[in-house]
Amino acid sequence: METLNKSYYVEVPASLNPEQLKMMMELEKDAFPGLGAVDEQTLIPLTRYGKLIQYRQSNDPMPIAICELMRDYKDIHKAYIFGFYVRSDQQGKGIGKLFLQEIYPILKQDGFHKVCLTVSTKNKAAVKLYEKLGFVIKETRFDEFGEGESRYYMEYFIS
């Protein structure tokens, strides 16, 4: 594993220009091939009315990781991670762990007490990462995104 002494920083855009939108859609396709990545119909409102957090590295024009957040209407103190991924060429370097640890203080500052997400039951690496960072599997949602697309529903309490 490569050492992580590079300068990483968080950026939260309030909107996306056409070039940024195109780049985000490419990142989505890279992160979720064949699964129906998020498109402009979702990215624009998610950025304006939810929260799009980008993890960046100095001298790299593209974000190295993305977190897309929404507030839970039934529990205003709970955030839902709609999407979380590390760019494919940056995986295996511990960036996901670093990024998620940067997100917790942002959520706390925004008034959240809990964060939840769903993750494919087949994505063992992501499940392991989330568990290592305090998430707990609360239930399995079978066929959540169609036949054979089951998800673990996981939660983390923000201290």
What pLDDT score does 3 carry? 43
Tens digits of residue pLDDT in 66-81: 999 999 999 999 999 9
What are the sequence ranges of the domains in the chain?
A: 8-113
What pLDDT score does 43 carry? 81
Residue 63 has φ and ψ, to the nearest 5°, of -60, 145
Strand order in the sheet with 136-141: 8-11, 51-57, 65-72, 75-86, 114-120, 151-157, 136-141
What pLDDT score does 8 carry? 92
What pLDDT score does 141 carry? 94
What pLDDT score does 35 carry? 62
pLDDT beneath 70: ranges in the chain: 1-5, 34-38
**Residue 36 falls in which region: left (phi positive, over 0), alpha (psi -120 to 50) or beta:** left
Beta strand extents in 65-157 (DSSP E only): 65-72, 75-86, 114-120, 136-141, 151-157
User: Is the separation of the CB atoms in 54 and 10 below 8 Å?
Assistant: yes
Homologous superfamily (CATH) of 8-113 is: Gcn5-related N-acetyltransferase (GNAT) (3.40.630.30)
What pLDDT score does 37 carry? 62
